[in-house]
Structure 1
Amino acid sequence: MAIAYQSKNFDIFLRLGYHKIMDGIKRKKGTALPDSEAPSERNNDIYLGLQNNLPPPGNRIGNKKSAKNYGKGFLIFFIISFTITLFWVIFFSWKIHSTSKKIIITNDNNSSFVSSLKSIVAPIITNKREELKGEEKNRINILLLGAAGEGKAGKNLTDTIMIMSINTQTKKLALLSLPRDLYVKIPETKSYSKINSLYQYGLSNNEGVETVKKSVEEITGLDINYYLIINYDGFKKVIDDLGGVNVYVERDIYDTRFPGSNFSYETFKLEKGLHKMDGETALKFVRERHNDPEGDFGRAKRQQNMIQAAKSKFFSFRTLLNVFALNKILDDLGNNVKTDIQIDEIEGLLAISREVDSQNITNAVADAWEKDSLLKVSHVFYGNIRAFILVPRVGNWSEIQELSENIFDLDAIRRKEAEIEKENVKITVINQSSDRQLASKIRDLLESKMKFKSVIVKSPPTPDIREETAVYDRTGKNKIFSLNEIIKKLPARLPPEDSGIIDAREDSDLVIVLGRDLEEKYSFEEDSIEEFNKAQELEF
């Protein structure tokens, strides 16, 4: 405000001096000022008011002193403002440099403070910045992981697994949460585990975050450009540094078995409505799942809401001007966060994040609530212990990949589903696998999950066992949406011809011949969501 006020008066001062000089020249020539050079009526009051406070026109020395003093004062003000700004730029450049040494895992430890200063200041001066990974595809994907941290129960088990995607063209943001109980293949092994254990597995095998990163890329089909890991202490401290965040609680929460210190229980309660949460309350809010009817999936939604609230608070004008808060945030991040975002990329990410519409964020959670959900509940045994897991309802990760790809345009999925409904295909299933129950499982999947209305099962023409599943198209590709859906999600291949396996009298549009390749994919027995939630409540 002070700079704008000084600039305005200085401009008036210059215009006034111009008119006084021109007036003197014209008077010497005995001519009047032309209208174009005379003070306008709009500025007349200002012009006359300033004239009354200036020395008489004949007092040349007084005029010169006033102009000189005013210019000197403005110069001093400019120098002081510039010095203060420069001081804070250097201070925060040093702060970011020192913080980056702690949090950036792949950071070059030989990088100097001067190089860090250049990387931060250069974009401000030149209006150019380092291109971020993913910008060439107009999409940046950041893997967000939340863990308890060293010295706490759970340690490096990541109970928060979320992909934050930024559309750099539309400036839209999307959050996709994956449940911690997702049963996945450990990359580059033949073993399986829950996805929340992969970060700890990577640390134990000197692979760091790469193990869980590769798994998330396989599940979602996305290229993960960056990752960020934060522990409980870091989360609480940052929320407190922001002065708390405002979050709307959609339902009353009352949990008498919330995990406390030293393996104890405590009561956590919140009433429905808007709350300003401090760090401790915010952490409990995003961890709570016992008293949520949606269990782990409800927790994922609350975590997404918290991220939205924290982002809005961080990029608020008040926070960005509070140097003490920013300094404290950087201190707390340095001790509790790990990332591969380089120091010369931070400015670019902050610039894009500031432009993102915080009120228009797409939130998605891969859940197992309904028959048409992306996942289903099942179990495996570890010795005599029955452990509940989540697996894809179809035979692969194709549905999660479809959601990930279209998360900025979910209508694309709905449009495809509408086309499938219009095609109204007739499907015949023939089981030539060694699993006699496979045909009924596939029929149930096609009807309840994929919404096909006409599905029948027929006996195989021969007792031969087939290795690969195939779908035969008898429409001449006139029902392409349904055909592609089955090929991609079952999955199945499309042979060039039926090789005589299909009865010529068959009137179905599509004939699916099941092979042994689907037996393992559909071997998981489905359990109820109620059993799953009950097991979650019994967990400490």
Structure 2
Amino acid sequence: MSFSSRRVHDSEEQPSHSHGKKWANVARMVLSVSGPLCKWYITHRQKEEERERDRRILHTVQKFFIAAIAIALALLIGTIVLRSVSSISLPSSFSLGEKTATIPTDTQGRTNILLLGEGDETGEYLLDSIIVASIDEATESIGLLSLPRDLYFLKTESMGEGRLNSLYRDYFYELTAHGKSKEEAEEEGMKQLAKEIGAALDMNIHHTIKVNFEGFVQAVDAIGGVTVYVPYDIVDPEYPGPNYTYELFEIRQGTHHFDGETALKYARSRHSTSDFSRSERQQMLLQALGKKVKEEGLLRKPHVLLSLFQNFQEHVYTTMSIPELVALAVKGRSINTDTIFAMQLSDRNGLYGDVLEPGGLLYTPPRDLFDGASVLLPVSIPEFPVTWKQIHTLSQLFFGIRTLHLQTPSIAILNAGAPPGSAGKLSSELKKFGIPITDVRNAAEKQEDSILLAPGELAAGSVLATVLHLPLQEEPTGSQDITIVLGKNYQHSRLQDLLSSMQ
């Protein structure tokens, strides 16, 4: 079969060959110019799209992991997460898939986190630092309570008895001996320890975060070190060295810039001072870290962010999911450093002529009762049996009724006819629960009724009057924010009993 072809339209007049060549030349010229231009435009668009994709990826990484990185940095010894988080701007909500991340709260709207600092090879799985952080959105505040490693638990639900720093380790080994994997034992151990500490403090602890020493060292190095003022000389000849040895750690009073290793030594050293002085140093480091992160905007720098994220993956362990970490960061974004307050439990209880300090609710029992070990138990009233009632009272005042710790009013106590020593006794009672008294003396005149004087706009006055079961009289009190007048009808009661009657 043959085929023939014809033109669809035949023109009566055909263009000349020269005219066709002219337009062909024009087309070739246009193509020669537009071709490279189009190629440049396509390449430019591809590069812009790549840069935009990189920006989106980085932004996603920041949103997913900013909380985790802030936590890894602020977990100086397990802490804080939260000072650094408070300096970061995050969206008011964050959605992962179809669900918005949430974080649990207790009946008062607080989220409570147990922060743990874990030892190195010289004390594997031993806890070097234990801090409870309570975040309260209503007052936009965070309370940090440090617990000493030697605090002894005579009885627990499932972890046996022992020092606080070894309970986790012993339970971890027990779980692995019964077939649990390392990861399963770590998670279950953290959850159970949070439950036991929550019972001791009479509060719900919702999650646990744990960081090891190497994680802290790398986090400090990632932000370029930290500058700290050292208030006194430290000479520690028994700082733990490599391979179960000791080495000398020495630092003199003054301002120093620490790298990660030195910051860790400053936080851990205890042979030249006490565990309680060490907690104070750890809080100073925490403040310095938070200040540097906030002022220099370090968590907005990609290289710092990614370095800290890698550190977080390797050295931080938590019972929280990534969405919950993000929700925690969102929850803490309104927190200001001025509304972060801290205290540590100690044995500076004022008994037997000793110094009394806030948090002095522990004592050291005879060593022969604990196979020669030095441990700490809660001061109990009455003395036997050992109870946690005083610690419960502190927890209620420190975490629950936190107005007195946020406003820190100046308080005077005047004895206006109460039994001798009543003003001093009340002053000591308030001080050990973290409520300092600035003036204790006899009133110029005696009166029958006890009363608390405070300006009407001072919330702390109303709170303290309620706690002490005293009538409130709203009026200026001169040089002090609050004045407590103890009249002839005053009868001293311990805060432990006063607060229990309010429940």
TM range (shorter): 0.5 to 0.7
Q: Following the alignment from structure 1 to structure 2, what is the Cα–Cα distance between the partners of residues 259 and 322?
A: 34
2:361 equivalent in structure 1: 375
2:164 equivalent in structure 1: 195
1:8 equivalent in structure 2: none
1:202 touches 1:211 (CA, 8 Å); kept in 2? no
Which deviates more, 261-270 or 75-84?
75-84
1:202 touches 1:212 (CA, 8 Å); kept in 2? no
1:201 touches 1:211 (CA, 8 Å); kept in 2? no
Using structure 2 for the length normalisation, give the TM-score: 0.59
Counting only pairs closer than 5 Å after superposition, residues 407-422 of structure 1 correspond to structure 2 as 407=398, 408-410=402-404
Q: Structure 1 residue 393 and structure 2 residue 379: aligned? A: yes
After TM superposition, give the deviation of residue 215 of structure 1 in Å.
2.3
1:301 touches 1:363 (CA, 8 Å); kept in 2? no
Residues 358 and 194 from structure 1, CA distance in 2 versus in 1: closer, same or farther, beyond 3 angstroms?
same
After TM superposition, give the deviation of residue 421 of structure 1 in Å.
7.2
Q: Following the alignment from structure 2 to structure 1, what is the Cα–Cα distance between the partners of residues 113 and 54?
A: 35
1:256 equivalent in structure 2: 237
1:183 touches 1:194 (CA, 8 Å); kept in 2? yes
2:343 equivalent in structure 1: 364
Q: Residue type matched to 1:139 in 2?
A: R
Q: Following the alignment from structure 2 to structure 1, what is the Cα–Cα distance between the partners of residues 415 and 150?
A: 33
2:146 equivalent in structure 1: 177
Q: Residue type matched to 2:56 in 1?
A: L
2:282 equivalent in structure 1: 303
Say which SS state the counterpart of residue 269 (structure 1) adopts: strand
Q: Following the alignment from structure 1 to structure 2, what is the Cα–Cα distance between the partners of residues 313 and 92?
A: 19
After TM superposition, give the deviation of residue 318 of structure 1 in Å.
2.9
Q: Following the alignment from structure 1 to structure 2, what is the Cα–Cα distance between the partners of residues 412 and 358?
A: 11
Structure 2 counterpart of 1:342, from 316, 321, 326: 321
Residues 337 and 386 from structure 1, CA distance in 2 versus in 1: closer, same or farther, beyond 3 angstroms?
same
Q: Following the alignment from structure 1 to structure 2, what is the Cα–Cα distance between the partners of residues 420 and 225?
A: 42
Counting only pairs closer than 5 Å after superposition, residues 481-496 of structure 1 correspond to structure 2 as 482-483=492-493, 485=495, 487=497
1:265 equivalent in structure 2: 246
Say which SS state the counterpart of residue 204 (structure 1) adopts: helix
Residues 251 and 222 from structure 1, CA distance in 2 versus in 1: closer, same or farther, beyond 3 angstroms?
same
Structure 1: stretches of 5+ with no match in the other structure? 1-74, 100-119, 428-444, 452-477, 493-540
Relative contact order: is structure 1 or structure 2 higher (C-alpha 8 Å, sep ≥ 6)?
Answer: 2
After TM superposition, give the deviation of residue 423 of structure 1 in Å.
9.1
Residues 169 and 193 from structure 1, CA distance in 2 versus in 1: closer, same or farther, beyond 3 angstroms?
same
After TM superposition, give the deviation of residue 228 of structure 1 in Å.
0.6
Residues 181 and 446 from structure 1, CA distance in 2 versus in 1: closer, same or farther, beyond 3 angstroms?
farther
Q: Residue type matched to 2:115 in 1?
A: L
Q: Following the alignment from structure 1 to structure 2, what is the Cα–Cα distance between the partners of residues 384 and 215?
A: 21
Residues 135 and 420 from structure 1, CA distance in 2 versus in 1: closer, same or farther, beyond 3 angstroms?
farther
Residues 188 and 202 from structure 1, CA distance in 2 versus in 1: closer, same or farther, beyond 3 angstroms?
same
Q: Following the alignment from structure 1 to structure 2, what is the Cα–Cα distance between the partners of residues 277 and 92?
A: 27
Q: Following the alignment from structure 1 to structure 2, what is the Cα–Cα distance between the partners of residues 122 and 409?
A: 28
1:165 touches 1:174 (CA, 8 Å); kept in 2? yes
Q: Following the alignment from structure 1 to structure 2, what is the Cα–Cα distance between the partners of residues 94 and 376?
A: 41
Q: Following the alignment from structure 1 to structure 2, what is the Cα–Cα distance between the partners of residues 421 and 190?
A: 48
2:105 touches 2:111 (CA, 8 Å); kept in 1? yes
Counting only pairs closer than 5 Å after superposition, residues 287-298 of structure 1 correspond to structure 2 as 287-292=268-273, 295-298=274-277
Q: Following the alignment from structure 1 to structure 2, what is the Cα–Cα distance between the partners of residues 308 and 412?
A: 17
1:130 equivalent in structure 2: 101
The percentage of aligned residue pairs carrying the same residue is 28
After TM superposition, give the deviation of residue 84 of structure 1 in Å.
3.8
1:406 equivalent in structure 2: 397
1:218 equivalent in structure 2: 199
Query: What is the CA RMSD across the aligned residues, in angstroms?
Result: 4.6
Q: Structure 1 residue 276 and structure 2 residue 237: aligned? A: no
Q: Following the alignment from structure 2 to structure 1, what is the Cα–Cα distance between the partners of residues 427 and 61?
A: 63
Residues 83 and 301 from structure 1, CA distance in 2 versus in 1: closer, same or farther, beyond 3 angstroms?
same
Q: Following the alignment from structure 1 to structure 2, what is the Cα–Cα distance between the partners of residues 314 and 414?
A: 27
Residues 269 and 365 from structure 1, CA distance in 2 versus in 1: closer, same or farther, beyond 3 angstroms?
same
Structure 2: stretches of 5+ with no match in the other structure? 1-44, 70-90, 176-187, 351-355, 382-386, 432-487
Structure 2 counterpart of 1:85, from 36, 49, 55: 55
Q: Summarize deviations over 1:19-65 as a string: whole Å, max 9, x none.
A: xxxxxxxxxxxxxxxxxxxxxxxxxxxxxxxxxxxxxxxxxxxxxxx
2:426 touches 2:492 (CA, 8 Å); kept in 1? no
Q: Following the alignment from structure 2 to structure 1, what is the Cα–Cα distance between the partners of residues 267 and 65?
A: 29
Using structure 1 for the length normalisation, give the TM-score: 0.56
Q: Following the alignment from structure 2 to structure 1, what is the Cα–Cα distance between the partners of residues 163 and 67?
A: 36
2:68 touches 2:312 (CA, 8 Å); kept in 1? no
Say which SS state the counterpart of residue 222 (structure 1) adopts: coil
Say which SS state the counterpart of residue 180 (structure 1) adopts: coil
Q: Following the alignment from structure 2 to structure 1, what is the Cα–Cα distance between the partners of residues 364 and 170?
A: 23
Q: Residue type matched to 1:196 in 2?
A: N
Say which SS state the counterpart of residue 204 (structure 2) adopts: coil
Say which SS state the counterpart of residue 373 (structure 2) adopts: strand
Q: Residue type matched to 1:388 in 2?
A: S
Q: Summarize deviations over 1:113-167 as a string: whole Å, max 9, x none.
A: xxxxxxx9972799x9533212773322111111114xx1111111201111222
Q: Following the alignment from structure 1 to structure 2, what is the Cα–Cα distance between the partners of residues 376 and 349?
A: 32
Structure 2 counterpart of 1:146, from 92, 117, 121: 117
1:377 touches 1:388 (CA, 8 Å); kept in 2? no
After TM superposition, give the deviation of residue 398 of structure 1 in Å.
2.6
Residues 447 and 347 from structure 1, CA distance in 2 versus in 1: closer, same or farther, beyond 3 angstroms?
closer
2:331 equivalent in structure 1: 352
Q: Summarize deviations over 1:169-216 as a string: whole Å, max 9, x none.
A: 232222111111112134126953111111112212334123321221
Residues 276 and 252 from structure 1, CA distance in 2 versus in 1: closer, same or farther, beyond 3 angstroms?
same
Q: Structure 1 residue 160 and structure 2 residue 129: aligned? A: yes
Q: Work out the number of aligned pairs and report it.
A: 357
